[in-house]
Every structure is written in C-alpha cells, then in structure tokens.
Amino acid sequence: MSPWTRLLLASAVAGVGYFAGAANAPPVPVPLDVPAEVYATRGDNGPEEALRTALRDAKASVDVAAYSLTDPELVDALLDAHRRGVAVRIVTDREQSRQAPQARQLKRLREAGIPVRTNTYAGKMHLKLVVVDGEIAFFGSYNLTRSAATRNDEVLVAVRGGDAVRPLAQKFDEMWTDPRYAPLP
C-alpha cells in the first residue's frame, strides 16, 4: 500500500471516530497493511460504480452512514438489495434528512421497510461509510449524491477483509444502538 493510501486510510478511520461523537475515545485500531482501493471522482475509477457493484453483490447486510443520501440510482440499489432479503440499515444527518431531495429518497427507503435513524444531538452526523456483508467497507469524502459523482472532487476508499472492516462495522453498530440516534419518524 502506498504511503498516500496509508495516510488517507488512517485519516479516514480517525474521522469515523471523531464524527461519530467519540472524539475523546481511544483510536480504533485498523491494520494498515490491508489492501485498499482508492476511487476518485472526475476520473476513470469513479466511486459510484464500485458502490453499485458492491450493493448488487450484497448477500446478507448493508449498513450505510451517509451525511447526504440523494442519488436515486444508489437508493434504487439499496432497495434492490432489500428486496433480495439483504438487511439494510441507514444512519443519516437529521438536518439533511429534512431537505427535500434527501427527504424524498429516505421516504422511498422507509416505505420499503428499511430502517432509518438520524442523530438527535446538536452536531452533524457527517460520516460517509458503507459496510457490505461485514467484508467490504467504503469510506471517504464521497456523499451518496449525484453532485458528488458528477461535479465534485471526492475520494472513496474501499478496504476488504474482516480485520480491516470489523472496526468500521463496529462503529456503525455503536451508532445504530446509541440513544442519540433515533428512528426517523
């Protein structure tokens, strides 16, 4: 793994802990010798296709912590996974969930029976994390929006394998069970 990828991976993992409300918690150890794939927008290896493929191939679970979730194609992929019997869970930002574009997509997910939770605390739920089957995790600056895919400079890192994914999946589970995250009414 290149030094740039190691730094990006370490920074992203540190950000997961910080933005999940655990800024004072000890760092989450993640092995840095794991294979990582870095996807960048405005290039040949865009994140949206990697995400859609992982969602299409999901067998058991998809956990999404997304500050902004407005891309209808990614929402379609989440709905397709849910229809195949994959357990899908969404955590998003309360303020973002009230904005019309995101509210429309969250309504589609909730009407299909996908549980959605939002933060109840004053800060933002600013993560961009997708964990698929506990075996692959995507994280970075990439919001799940068309703007992120087509107009912004964004990166999305994918790590594979239990040792690398487990701490990220645990962070999602901590958020999911944290009373500061409530079901979206």
- Residues 11-40 pLDDT 10s: 555 454 444 444 556 666 655 677 788 888
Q: Give the pLDDT confidence score for residue 71 in this predicted structure.
A: 94
Which is catalytic among the residues 76, 80, 82, 133?
Answer: 133
Thinking of the domain 50-179, which architecture would CATH place it in? 2-Layer Sandwich (3.30)
Average pLDDT over residues 5-15: 50
Which is catalytic among the residues 63, 126, 153, 178?
Answer: 126
Q: Is 171 a catalytic residue?
A: no
Which of 54, 20, 23, 25 has the alpha carbon at shortest distance from 37? 54
Q: Give the pLDDT confidence score for residue 145 in this predicted structure.
A: 79
d(CA 148, CA 142): 6
Q: Is 126 a catalytic residue?
A: yes
pLDDT beyond 90 at 44: no
Return the minimum-mean-pLDDT range out of 46-60, 110-124, 147-161: 147-161
**More reliable by pLDDT, 2 or 71:** 71
Q: Give the pLDDT confidence score for residue 152 in this predicted structure.
A: 77
Q: Give the pLDDT confidence score for residue 105 in this predicted structure.
A: 97
Read off the tokens for 71: 């891309």
d(CA 169, CA 138): 11
Which residue is associated with the tokens 């303020």?
Answer: 95
Cross-strand pairs, 156: 39, 140
Average pLDDT over residues 103-126: 96
67-105 pLDDT, tens digit each: 999 999 999 999 999 999 999 999 999 999 999 999 999
Q: Is 71 a catalytic residue?
A: no
Which of 52, 102, 117 has the alpha carbon at shortest distance from 80? 52
Which is catalytic among the residues 93, 128, 171, 178?
Answer: 128
Q: Give the pLDDT confidence score for residue 31 in this predicted structure.
A: 57
130-179 pLDDT, tens digit each: 999 999 999 999 888 787 777 778 888 999 988 899 999 999 999 999 99
Q: What is the 3-state secondary structure (H, E, C) of the chain?
A: CCHHHHHHHHHHHHHHHHHCCCCCCCCCCCCCCCCEEEEECCCCCCHHHHHHHHHHHCCCEEEEEECCECCHHHHHHHHHHHHCCCEEEEEECHHHHCCHHHHHHHHHHHHCCCCEEEECCCCCCCCEEEEECCCEEEEECCCECHHHHHCCCCEEEEEECHHHHHHHHHHHHHHHHCCCEEECC
Distances (CA, A) of 166 to 36, 137, 138: 15, 9, 12
**More reliable by pLDDT, 101 or 41:** 101
